[in-house]
Amino acid sequence: MFNLVVKDILIQKKRVLFALLYIIFMVIAFQNMGLVMFTVGVTACTYMLIMTACAYEDMNKSDIMMNSLPVKKSQIVAAKYLSVFVFFIMGTLAYAAFYGVVKLTGIPLGISPVNMTNLISGITSVCFISGIYLPIFFKVGYVKSKIINFVLFFSVFFGASYLVTILQESMSIPWLNAIIEFVSDRGETFTAIVFLALILVFMFISYLIALRLYKHREF
Which residues lie near other proteins (CB under 8 A)?
3-4, 6-7, 10-13, 56, 59-62, 64-65, 67-72, 216, 218-219
67 or 184, CB closer to other proteins?
A: 67
Q: How far is the CB of 19 from other proteins (least distance, A)?
A: 15
Nearest to 148 by CA among 158, 157, 138, 137: 137
3 or 177, CB closer to other proteins?
A: 3
72 or 186, CB closer to other proteins?
A: 72
Q: How far is the CB of 55 from other proteins (least distance, A)?
A: 10
9 or 192, CB closer to other proteins?
A: 9
Report CA 3 to chain centroid distance, whole Å.
Answer: 20
The 3 state secondary structure assigned to 21-37 is HHHHHHHHHCHHHHHHH
| CA-to-CA separations, 62 to 2, 80, 145, 147, in angstroms, rounded | 18, 14, 16, 21
Count the neighbouring beta carbons within 10 Å of the beta carbon of residue 46.
Answer: 29
Q: How far is the CB of 75 from other proteins (least distance, A)?
A: 9
Nearest to 145 by CA among 80, 71, 74, 88: 80
Decide: helix, strand or coil at residue 120: helix
Q: How far is the CB of 154 from other proteins (least distance, A)?
A: 27
190 or 219, CB closer to other proteins?
A: 219
Q: How far is the CB of 131 from other proteins (least distance, A)?
A: 25
18 or 30, CB closer to other proteins?
A: 18
Burial class of 60 by CB neighbour count within 10 A (0 to 12, 13 to 18, 19+): exposed
d(CA 218, CA 75): 17
Q: How far is the CB of 218 from other proteins (least distance, A)?
A: 5
